């Protein structure tokens, strides 16, 4: 089976520990499991770390450290090949840069409206859309 190449937006990763029964947690788990391949850049890892540690989110330090360690140990590293200025929020460009470098199939985000529907061969989709593609039996 050909692996799915994925980039996962911070809002999905942060929602995973905040909503343990939510679809975002399922997305993160599926992204870290074969045949999927999660791709990250150093900029994305830094953003995950910064946002997960925000006190207002009240994510226990141990939980956010475990999640980061899981991502670091299972994700594939992509190296940004060029700087992009595509999204309305400049902070979101790192996800398209990663998708570009990794030739990702999907960029999974909770803010699909902030991205083009496609970036080259990468389709921008929501958590629900991703699960309906790879594990439709998990959709209630």
User: Is the Cβ–Cβ distance between 75 and 38 less than 8 Å?
Assistant: yes
CB neighbour class for 18 (10 Å; exposed up to 12, middle 13-18, buried from 19): middle
Domains, the chain, ranges and CATH?
4-138 (3.40.50.1010)
Q: How big is the chain, counted in residues? A: 140
State residue 7's pLDDT score: 98
For the beta carbon of residue 86, count every other beta carbon within 10 angstroms: 15
- Extract the tokens encoding 46: 């830094």
In whole angstroms, give the CA distance from residue 80 to residue 40. 10
Largest separation between any pair of C-alpha atoms in the chain = 41
Band (84; pLDDT cuts 50, 70, 90): confident
For the beta carbon of residue 111, count every other beta carbon within 10 angstroms: 17
pTM of the predicted structure, to 2 decimals: 0.94
For the beta carbon of residue 64, count every other beta carbon within 10 angstroms: 20
55 or 137, which is more confident: 55
State residue 38's pLDDT score: 97
Strand partners, 6: 38, 106
Chain mean pLDDT for the chain: 93
Percent above pLDDT 90 for the chain: 76
State residue 1's pLDDT score: 59
């Amino acid at each position: 089976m050909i692996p799915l190449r994925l980039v996962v937006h911070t809002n999905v990763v942060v929602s995973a520990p905040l909503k343990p029964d939510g679809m975002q947690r399922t997305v993160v788990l599926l992204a870290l499991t074969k045949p999927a391949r999660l791709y990250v850049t150093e900029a994305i890892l830094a953003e995950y770390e910064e946002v997960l540690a925000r006190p207002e989110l009240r994510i226990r330090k141990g939980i956010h450290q475990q999640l980061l360690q899981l991502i670091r140990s299972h994700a594939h590293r992509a190296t940004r090949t060029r700087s992009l200025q595509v999204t309305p929020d400049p902070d979101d460009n790192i996800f398209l840069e990663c998708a570009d470098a990794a030739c990702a199939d999907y960029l999974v985000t909770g803010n699909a409206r902030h991205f083009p529907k496609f970036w080259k061969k990468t389709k921008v989709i929501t958590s629900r859309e991703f699960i309906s593609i790879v594990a439709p039996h998990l959709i209630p």
